[in-house]
């Protein structure tokens, strides 16, 4: 199943997800540094990282949903995609609530609940990220039909060739 939304021949969703994942993971790292050092600047950096990660997640999500709607019904990929997508919505909600607690008390250090929510969100993001990898790497969701180790560049006008194993499978039928 090819991605429905592409830029320069590549699926948009996987391009965009690196930003919220990186920003939200970095926020958790700054929370840990804050807990170790007590430096309020680290908590402030985490606050801004979460805000940017939430914006990035809101931008990446619709492209994932568009691709999910194109997956055939009744397949393992459709079920995993649903869990992946809904799980990531929960990740964003957890981080949003963490951000909100930090915003309300921005003059003070973050409450324990704010950090616990970001740690929970990061933990769930590891699981949903793995599910995204399962969709692409194991189930081939978002992969071009002509994908193979010697496929031409996505920017090339050359048509992709059918991989040898697919030719052999067709001859053996």
Distance CA 157, CA 79 (A): 35
C-alpha dihedral sign at 72, 77, 82, 88: negative
All structural domains of the chain with their residue ranges: 6-142
Structure tokens at 69: 């709607």
pLDDT digits (tens, 9 = 90+) for 39-56: 999 999 999 999 999 999
Confidence of residue 126 (pLDDT cuts 50, 70, 90): very high
How many other CB atoms sit within 10 Å of the CB of residue 10?
A: 14
- Cα–Cα nearest to 58, from 103, 96, 26, 11: 96
pLDDT digits (tens, 9 = 90+) for 143-164: 777 666 567 777 777 765 555 5
114 near 106, Cβ under 8 Å? no
Task: Give, for 26, the enclosing helix (H) or strand (E).
Answer: helix 12-37
Higher pLDDT residue, 170 or 158?
Answer: 158
pLDDT at 173: 56
- Cα–Cα nearest to 135, from 67, 66, 59: 67
Distance CA 45, CA 40 (A): 9
- pTM (2 decimals)? 0.83
């Amino acid at each position: 199943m090819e991605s429905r939304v592409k830029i320069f021949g590549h699926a948009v969703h996987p391009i965009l997800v690196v930003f919220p994942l990186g920003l939200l993971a970095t926020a958790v790292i700054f929370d840990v540094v804050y807990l170790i050092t007590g430096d309020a600047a680290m908590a402030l950096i985490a606050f801004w990282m979460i805000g940017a990660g939430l914006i990035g997640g809101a931008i990446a999500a619709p492209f994932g949903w568009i691709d999910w709607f194109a997956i055939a019904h009744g397949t393992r990929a459709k079920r995993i995609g649903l869990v992946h997508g809904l799980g990531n919505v929960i990740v964003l909600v957890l981080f949003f609530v963490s951000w909100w607690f930090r915003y309300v008390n921005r003059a003070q250090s973050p409450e324990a609940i704010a950090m616990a929510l970001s740690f929970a969100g990061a933990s769930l993001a590891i699981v949903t990220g793995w599910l995204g990898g399962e969709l692409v790497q194991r189930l081939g969701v978002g992969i071009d039909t002509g994908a193979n180790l010697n496929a031409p560049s996505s920017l090339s006008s050359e048509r992709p060739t059918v991989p040898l194993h697919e030719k052999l499978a067709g001859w053996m039928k």
